[in-house]
């Protein structure tokens, strides 16, 4: 017997998509989320490597300034999915170390992806599924994946993917032109583990005048394996753009050299070094009033942190506010 529950498809199972999915699910909708990754998470995904190490290789932490997000973070902490990261965070400038202003920073436990795993419980999430084409007809939305499988029809559709990908799927749709107006920056990330502990007094740093924009001692975060000193190094958007098609081995070499230069320390022998390129790492929008796009007549919504402020909180609020004004 066909269910009378409204059906919703969500493309993208990061924080924005999962926030919307949970709200609709709790309202009684039948929700199916699709994600091309191995597991849900998007920019809060984690990389499992050899040596029993798991790196937060995209979003490094999150803060909470909006009351709604503060409440959500509190729930994640109660559920054991998140904790405060109390590591020392500094600014590195021309060899000088300056402490950053006090601020509460939070991370997923035992990895950033734990939050997405928790949010996905009870939901239908189809991972390793890339949606390559979408169609809207009188019966609703149908989704075609790159394996030739057709999904749907669905009453409503939410896109929670990077702006260029949304624009591509919506090439023949009015919202596609809106998505083209938003730009996104790339980021090369290097994950590295050392034989010996790097002798610095801080656990994370914003770096100036370097190919690197951010470095973090991943092993200092709560719940992580701290037997090996392991770090995440993230290049600046400008350097990443200039080296977008570089060989990963060369990226590792260049960013380790930048790491040595910015810390003023000789880099210990590495046990592991991996480079990962995020082609669409972060949006450049700063307008906090425009956090979702919607076309009610076709029950289509576009959400994502790139519509807001590029942060985890922005992703959450995009998904949250889109469902508050939902039409489907």
Work out the average pLDDT over 225-249.
97
Indicate whether 66 pLDDT > 60: yes
Work out the average pLDDT over 171-176.
91
pLDDT value of residue 287: 58
Contact of 11 with 159, CB cutoff 8 Å: yes
Nearest C-alpha neighbor of 280 from the set 182, 184, 213: 184
pLDDT value of residue 283: 84
Q: 119 is written with which tokens? A: 């949010």
Work out the average pLDDT over 65-73.
97
CA dist 175 → 19, 168, 205, 292 (Å): 21, 11, 38, 11
pLDDT value of residue 303: 96
What percent of the chain lies above the pLDDT cut of 90?
91
pLDDT value of residue 4: 81
pLDDT value of residue 2: 54
pLDDT value of residue 289: 56
H/E run at residue 24: helix 15-26
Q: 105 is written with which tokens? A: 């920073």
pLDDT value of residue 12: 98
**246-296, pLDDT tens digit by residue?**
999 999 999 999 999 999 999 999 999 999 999 999 887 765 556 899 999
Work out the average pLDDT over 146-158.
97
SS3 content of the chain, % helix, strand, coil (to 5): 30, 35, 35
pLDDT value of residue 325: 59
Instruction: Reduce the DSSP state of residue 106 to 3 states and report it.
Output: strand
Instruction: Reduce the DSSP state of residue 83 to 3 states and report it.
Output: strand
**90-121, pLDDT tens digit by residue?**
999 988 999 999 999 999 999 999 999 999 99
CA dist 33 → 16, 124, 196, 246 (Å): 12, 6, 42, 33
**121-146, pLDDT tens digit by residue?**
999 999 999 999 999 999 999 999 99
Where does the pLDDT of residue 1 fall: very low under 50, low under 70, confident under 90, or very high at 90 and above? Answer: very low
Nearest C-alpha neighbor of 135 from the set 20, 9, 22, 17: 9
Where does the pLDDT of residue 33 fall: very low under 50, low under 70, confident under 90, or very high at 90 and above? Answer: very high
Where does the pLDDT of residue 310 fall: very low under 50, low under 70, confident under 90, or very high at 90 and above? Answer: confident
Q: What is the pTM assigned to this prediction?
A: 0.94
Where does the pLDDT of residue 327 fall: very low under 50, low under 70, confident under 90, or very high at 90 and above? Answer: very low
List, in order of start, the domains of the chain with CATH numbers: 7-44+116-182+286-324 (3.50.50.60), 47-113+184-283 (3.90.660.10)
Neighbours of 321 (CB within 10 A): 18
Instruction: Give the chain's mean pLDDT.
Output: 94
């Amino acid at each position: 017997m066909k269910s009378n529950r409204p059906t919703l498809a969500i493309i993208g199972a990061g924080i924005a998509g999962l926030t919307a999915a949970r709200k609709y699910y709790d309202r009684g909708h039948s929700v199916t989320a699709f994600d091309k990754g191995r597991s849900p998470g998007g920019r809060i995904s984690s990389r499992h490597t050899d040596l029993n190490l798991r790196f937060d290789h995209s979003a490094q932490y999150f803060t909470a300034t909006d009351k709604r997000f503060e409440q959500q973070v509190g729930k994640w902490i109660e559920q054991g999915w998140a904790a405060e990261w109390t590591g020392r965070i500094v600014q590195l400038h021309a060899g000088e170390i300056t402490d950053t202003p006090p601020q509460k920073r939070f991370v997923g436990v035992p990895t950033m992806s734990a939050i997405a795993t928790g949010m996905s419980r009870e939901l239908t999430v189809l991972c390793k599924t890339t949606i390559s084409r979408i169609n809207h007809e009188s019966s609703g939305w149908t989704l075609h994946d790159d394996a030739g499988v057709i999904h749907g029809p669905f009453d409503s559709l939410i896109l929670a993917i990077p702006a260029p990908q949304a624009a591509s799927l919506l090439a023949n749709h009015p919202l596609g032109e809106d998505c083209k107006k938003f730009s996104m920056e790339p980021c090369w990330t290097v994950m590295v583990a050392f034989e010996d502990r790097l002798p610095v007094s801080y656990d994370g740093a914003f770096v100036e005048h370097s190919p690197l924009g951010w470095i973090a001692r991943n092993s200092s975060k709560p719940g992580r394996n701290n037997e090996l000193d392991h770090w995440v190094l993230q290049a600046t958007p400008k350097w990443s753009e200039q080296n977008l098609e570089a060989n990963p081995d060369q990226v590792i070499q260049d960013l380790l050299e930048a790491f040595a230069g910015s810390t003023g320390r000789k880099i210990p022998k590495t046990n592991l070094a991996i480079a990962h390129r995020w082609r669409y790492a972060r949006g450049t929008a700063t307008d906090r009033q425009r956090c979702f796009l919607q076309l009610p007549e076709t029950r289509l919504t576009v959400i994502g942190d790139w519509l807001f402020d590029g942060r985890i909180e922005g992703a959450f609020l995009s998904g949250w506010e889109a469902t508050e004004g939902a039409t489907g």
